[in-house]
Structure 1
Amino acid sequence: MSGLNEKAPFELIEPQWRVVGDDYITALAWSPDGSTLAAASVGGPILLLAGETGGVVHELPGHGLGTLALDWSCDGRWLASGGQDGKARVWDAGTGAEAMVLDGGSGWVEHVAWSPRGDLLASAAGKFVKLWKNDGELCRVYGDHASTVTGLAWLRDGRRLATACYGGVKLWRIDAVQAKKHFQWKGSFLSLSLSPNDEHLAAGCQDDSLLVWNVKTAKNVGMSGYPGKISLLNWDASSRYLASGADREAVLWNFSGPGPANREPFVLSRHIDRIADLRFHPKRDVLATVGQDGMLILWNIPEGIMKDLCILKNPLTRLAWSPQGNMLGVGSAEGEVCLLSVR
């Protein structure tokens, strides 16, 4: 694996506001118009924060045993959440009222995802994935999973859904109860990410390796040699780069042209403790990483480091780019949420 050349940092980041909570931030999600940042905590409550000021628009009770996941509908009207109470909940973002309580079917609801069309919500709890209409009606249950579902990803048409669990990745059609495709693999997965162009499905493995399937041909390529389990995956907007995180390193694979086969990846090494989250800028070749070392690092891809900041003394847990890419929300293990503007 090769490294990136370091560039001299230059000023692009300005702190805007900080909101101090009281518990570990488990999820951050921007509304589609970039006006509101939702922040969930392990204790359960969800804050809806005004992007410009950090003011609390609504404080939602969330999930009493802890909130694990957030996702906005494409029109920004609804915010879905999943939690350790075995429920998926849908909130009216305008009023802050709880609009729906949906039974996940088993244990924790670890994943919620609105379809690109906004007409369906997928929830994953244990071995069950359920599809709900936006009025709360249950329209499909996918129970044919060998173990706990560890990832959900909608394809762009909003009519196909990928799920990951032990034994591989399955591709489902919303009008059928049987999987359309099964990308088999003898192993367990921790993460799932679909490239924006719908061409590749990436899954991070328990055995410190990464698998990527071509959606059309079902051919796969495997990458190994990671320093730990791969729980973090994210594609850039062009589907050229896949970033993967394990321990203190982010590893970047290039899928342009012939793809990553026989091509050395970039290894991004600067954190001194485990990377907690990584996200590409929505419009530029810039990757943001945050870690338990309290560091936020912006990497200019593929040249090297743009800027690194120690923004908090306590470990960082989550980050989220605004849809326009001009704001970056960061959450911490102590419940703090910071907003940085990126000019």
Structure 2
Amino acid sequence: MQTLRSVPITARPVEGDAADAPASYVAWAPQGRRLAVPAGPGAIQLVDTDTDTAASGPTVDGLVNQVAWSPSGTRLAAAGGDDGVFVWEPGRPLRAHDDWVGAIAWSPTGSRLASGARDHRAMIWEPGADRPRHVLTGHTGEVTAVSWAADGYTLATGSADATVRLWSDGRCLRTWQHPGPVRGIAWSPDGRVLAAATGTHVAFHPAADRPALTGHTGPVHEVSWSPDGRHLGTTSADGTVRLWDAAGRTPLAVLDVDDGRPAFAFHPALDRIAVWTRRAGLSLWDFSPA
């Protein structure tokens, strides 16, 4: 099992109380220098890891549940708990959902934005438009996760209704059934494999010759691939962040963060990882996979 070395960082929230934030999230900008993390229920802080400084980021009226940088790093989108999706720039809400928005993802080209909400719907937006390009219906529970394939057209949605659905051009292509709620999904960088966090494990589609990741003792909330597709990261209600070898499906490292809802992100250059917890805030760790 690999031992990870902590990278010193002292940046702290500059306003608000991050411990009051209802959600945990952490997102690297594509250039690998800035991180977006919580600074309170409706506030985002931007941490510059090169200078170890934090600055006030965008704020919203309501809650921030998740954030996502556009591929160019010039726009930051936030999923809001008051049924809105916010994008800076241009800095105005996109409203069409009827309930809490908890999932958001940019397409690989940055030309589209997907959102998922408690109203059982997912939506595809073109930033700048007032209404969604597509409204995706069919789930019977909260849409908890959205993820774009590498082709920029195929969207996967995961739901509390225990299904994963694939969509293209507003049409559902297929549905995969799981034994319990799906809390997180992520396409591999090459778009060939979809990982789905359900229960205490991570399943894969297509499933042939791909055993599930097992080892967590609590529900898995999040799954993500490293930029090179060789590794996976998971977070769980058991208070751990785990790193895995994607080919062998074997664990590489375990971080015990003593928080039931940690957030995690691989650095774009794959030399470190970021972890956010409501108890300890932001931590950085060297990651040097073999």
The one-letter amino acid of 1:192's match is V
Per-residue Cα deviation, 1:21-64 (whole angstroms, up to 9, x for no partner): xxxxxxxxxxxxxxxxxxxxxxxxxxxxxxxxx12253333541
Q: 1:278 aligns with which of 223, 227, 231?
A: 223
Following superposition of structure 1 onto structure 2, how do residues 31-110 of structure 1 map, counting pairs within 5 Å? 54-61=7-14, 63-64=16-17, 65-66=20-21, 68-75=24-31, 78-82=34-38, 84-90=40-46, 94=51, 96-102=53-59, 104-105=60-61, 107-110=62-65
Q: 2:93 aligns with which of 141, 151, 173?
A: 141
Does the Cα contact within 8 Å between 1:162 and 1:170 map onto a contact in 2? yes
Q: Specify the SS of the correspondent of 1:269.
A: coil
Measured in 1, the distance between the counterparts of 2:256 and 2:93 equals 42
- Does residue 208 of structure 1 match 2:154? no
Q: Specify the SS of the correspondent of 1:267.
A: coil
Larger displacement relative to structure 2 (269-278 or 245-254): 269-278
Does the Cα contact within 8 Å between 1:314 and 1:333 map onto a contact in 2? no
The one-letter amino acid of 1:16's match is R
Measured in 1, the distance between the counterparts of 2:171 and 2:214 equals 32
The one-letter amino acid of 1:193's match is S
The one-letter amino acid of 2:109's match is D
Measured in 2, the distance between the counterparts of 1:327 and 1:116 equals 19
Counterpart residue number, 1:181: 134
Q: Specify the SS of the correspondent of 2:5.
A: strand
- Does residue 341 of structure 1 match 2:288? yes
Counterpart residue number, 2:201: 249
Measured in 2, the distance between the counterparts of 1:253 and 1:236 equals 11
Q: Specify the SS of the correspondent of 1:244.
A: strand
Counterpart residue number, 1:15: 4
Does the Cα contact within 8 Å between 2:48 and 2:54 map onto a contact in 1? yes
Distance 1:149 1:74, change over 3 A: same
The count of corresponding residues between Structure 1 and Structure 2 is 279
Measured in 2, the distance between the counterparts of 1:326 and 1:97 equals 21
Does the Cα contact within 8 Å between 1:172 and 1:179 map onto a contact in 2? yes
Does the Cα contact within 8 Å between 1:327 and 1:342 map onto a contact in 2? no
Per the TM alignment, residue 118 of structure 1 is displaced from its structure 2 partner at its CA by: 2.9
Measured in 1, the distance between the counterparts of 2:194 and 2:11 equals 35
Q: Specify the SS of the correspondent of 1:152.
A: strand
Identity in percent? 19
Which is greater in Rg?
1
Per the TM alignment, residue 169 of structure 1 is displaced from its structure 2 partner at its CA by: 1.5
Q: CA RMSD of the aligned region, Å?
A: 3.3
Measured in 2, the distance between the counterparts of 1:71 and 1:213 equals 25
Measured in 2, the distance between the counterparts of 1:275 and 1:283 equals 22
Distance 1:180 1:60, change over 3 A: same
Q: 2:269 aligns with which of 324, 336, 341?
A: 324
- Does residue 296 of structure 1 match 2:249? no
Counterpart residue number, 1:164: 116
Measured in 2, the distance between the counterparts of 1:268 and 1:95 equals 35
Per the TM alignment, residue 246 of structure 1 is displaced from its structure 2 partner at its CA by: 1.4
Measured in 2, the distance between the counterparts of 1:299 and 1:175 equals 40
Runs of at least 5 residues in structure 1 that lack an aligned partner in the other structure: 1-10, 18-53, 255-259
Measured in 2, the distance between the counterparts of 1:318 and 1:177 equals 31
Larger displacement relative to structure 2 (151-160 or 281-290): 281-290
Distance 1:207 1:186, change over 3 A: closer
Larger displacement relative to structure 2 (204-213 or 270-279): 270-279
Per the TM alignment, residue 243 of structure 1 is displaced from its structure 2 partner at its CA by: 0.7
Measured in 2, the distance between the counterparts of 1:113 and 1:322 equals 14
Does the Cα contact within 8 Å between 2:183 and 2:220 map onto a contact in 1? no
Runs of at least 5 residues in structure 2 that lack an aligned partner in the other structure: none
| TM-score between both structures, scaled by the size of structure 2 | 0.79
Measured in 2, the distance between the counterparts of 1:315 and 1:130 equals 28
Counterpart residue number, 2:175: 222
